């Protein structure tokens, strides 16, 4: 999961300037509830999680084309602390990178954030066997924030308030991994470290009059990593996912996709063998049942700069072993190393149940 921050860092094109030029800091407190996405975590919901979010933000003013295209967003990094108010869960910390997107005359802010999280009390077979949410100490951390912000109310000090959604899990790199989702209200203050500059006029951006539409392109992608079945202690196994799809870029921000995936997940091969002997009261299961799966999917790609966000929805057309539901999803970050080669990181899920964190390398022809 250390690769998550690596790919986000690649997307942030930091200019050579003073550390405090065009920056502001935010500090917020939040308090809310854990969302019960599965009955398996009912015993982990015993209070109202609360925490602190501290952020350092860098403004953009339209020097680069993508900044104007997205209404001059901010980028930055943040630190999160969260007390989950449960003996078995303990506390969680996260260090993440983010983008802030502005609406309503730059008073409404939507943040997308991803980084690395740490829990103080992960699952342990002897000392903490009831924590079926966090199977490892190191996790992935996601945060979405929607807030109203008012700056410079008193000199350079302003306030913000809104709603925040946080997610901690390890993407089933190690079981158990039910994960924890928190939704909460936040309230805080902001402080400008530098004077706010005027935004650059639209006429100087290089996007004026430029067409981003393209012909249909062929993409091939290899995704890999390690994962573990839902049975604790079966061990981490490698997986190999192969994807072939076509995409059609519609404009500056969007492309649509249509393709197919081949899934070769070694943990599933072991799980089939385990199930064939562990559940004698169920209908007979051949231990040699094919573990391979094939899916077809539709997707969307949102282009920011060299970074893009992929969202895909798929359906298994070949799945001999009845495992999970027949629909799967993938959301991920893609970074273009040139015009043809890309890399990235993504999460494959079945609804709210994560299956794998996928590292990706691919080519767009």
| Residue 232 pLDDT | 87
Asked whether 35 and 182 are in contact (CB, 8 A), the reply is yes
| Residue 55 pLDDT | 98
CB atoms within 10 A of CB 99: 22
In a 3-state reduction of DSSP, which class is residue 278?
Answer: helix
Q: How far apart are CA 54 and CA 80, in angstroms?
A: 7
- Which whole-number Å values give the CA distances from 31 to 36, 210, 257, 269, 342, in the listed order? 16, 46, 39, 42, 39
Task: Give Cβ neighbours of residue 16 (< 8 Å, ≥ 6 apart).
Answer: none
| Residue 10 pLDDT | 46
| Residue 185 pLDDT | 98
Q: Which two tokens stand for residue 215?
A: 């012909």
| Residue 34 pLDDT | 97
Q: Which two tokens stand for residue 209?
A: 């009059």
| Residue 21 pLDDT | 64
Rounded to 5°, angle at Cα 234 from 228 and 240: 35
HEC assignment per residue over 289-315 = CCCCEEEEEEEEEEECCCEEEEEEEEE
Q: How far apart are CA 227 and CA 170, in angstroms?
A: 10
- Provide the Cα torsion 82, 43, 1, 336; round to 10°: -90
Secondary structure percentages of the chain, helix, strand, coil, to 5 = 10, 55, 35
Q: Which two tokens stand for residue 80?
A: 């999160």
| Residue 186 pLDDT | 98
Q: How far apart are CA 243 and CA 231, in angstroms?
A: 27
pTM for the whole structure = 0.86
Tokens 């951006």, residue located? 205
Per-residue pLDDT of the chain (365 residues; tens, 9 = 90+): 544 454 444 444 444 344 556 899 999 999 999 999 888 999 999 999 999 999 999 999 888 889 989 999 999 999 999 999 999 999 999 999 999 999 998 999 999 999 999 999 999 999 999 999 999 999 999 999 999 999 999 999 999 999 999 999 998 899 999 999 999 999 999 999 987 766 655 544 455 557 889 999 999 999 999 999 888 888 899 999 999 999 999 999 999 999 999 999 999 999 999 988 887 667 778 889 999 999 999 999 999 999 999 999 999 999 999 888 999 999 999 999 998 999 999 999 998 788 999 999 999 99
Q: Which two tokens stand for residue 133?
A: 């949410």
Asked whether 43 and 25 are in contact (CB, 8 A), the reply is no
Q: DSSP string spanning 204-250?
A: GSTTTT-------EEEEEEEEEEE--SSTTS--EEEEEEEEEEEEE-
């Amino acid at each position: 999961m250390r690769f998550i921050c690596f790919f986000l860092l690649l997307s942030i094109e930091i200019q050579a300037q003073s550390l405090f030029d065009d920056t502001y800091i935010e500090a917020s407190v939040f308090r809310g509830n854990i969302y019960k996405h599965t009955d398996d975590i009912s015993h982990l919901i015993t209070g109202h999680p609360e925490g602190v979010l501290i952020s350092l933000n860098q403004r953009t003013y339209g020097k680069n084309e993508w900044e104007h295209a997205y209404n001059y967003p901010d980028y930055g990094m943040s630190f999160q602390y969260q007390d989950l108010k449960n003996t078995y869960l303990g506390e969680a910390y996260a260090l993440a990178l983010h983008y802030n997107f502005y609406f309503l005359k730059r008073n409404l802010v939507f943040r997308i954030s991803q980084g690395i999280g740490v829990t103080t009390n992960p699952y342990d077979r002897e000392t903490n066997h009831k924590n079926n949410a966090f199977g490892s100490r190191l996790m992935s951390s996601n945060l979405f924030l929607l807030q109203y912000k008012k700056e410079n109310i008193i000199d350079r000090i302003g306030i913000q308030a809104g709603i925040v959604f946080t997610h901690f899990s390890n993407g089933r790199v190690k079981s158990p991994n039910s994960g924890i989702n928190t939704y909460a209200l936040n309230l805080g203050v902001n402080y400008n470290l530098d004077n706010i500059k005027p935004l650059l006029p639209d006429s100087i951006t290089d996007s004026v009059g430029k067409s981003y539409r393209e012909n249909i392109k062929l993409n091939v992608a290899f995704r890999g990593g390690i994962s573990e079945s839902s049975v604790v202690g079966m061990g981490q196994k490698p997986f190999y996912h192969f994807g072939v799809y076509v995409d059609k870029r519609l404009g500056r921000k969007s492309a649509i996709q249509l393709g197919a995936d081949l899934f070769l997940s070694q943990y599933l091969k072991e799980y089939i063998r385990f199930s064939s002997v562990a559940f004698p009261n169920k209908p007979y299961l051949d231990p040699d049942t094919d573990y391979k799966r094939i899916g077809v999917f539709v997707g969307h790609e949102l282009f920011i700069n060299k970074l893009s966000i992929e969202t895909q929805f798929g359906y298994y057309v070949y799945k001999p072993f009845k495992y999970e539901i027949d629909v799967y999803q993938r959301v991920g970050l893609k970074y273009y190393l040139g015009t043809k080669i890309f890399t990235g990181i993504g999460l494959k899920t079945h609804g709210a149940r994560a299956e794998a964190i996928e590292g990706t390398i691919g080519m767009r022809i």
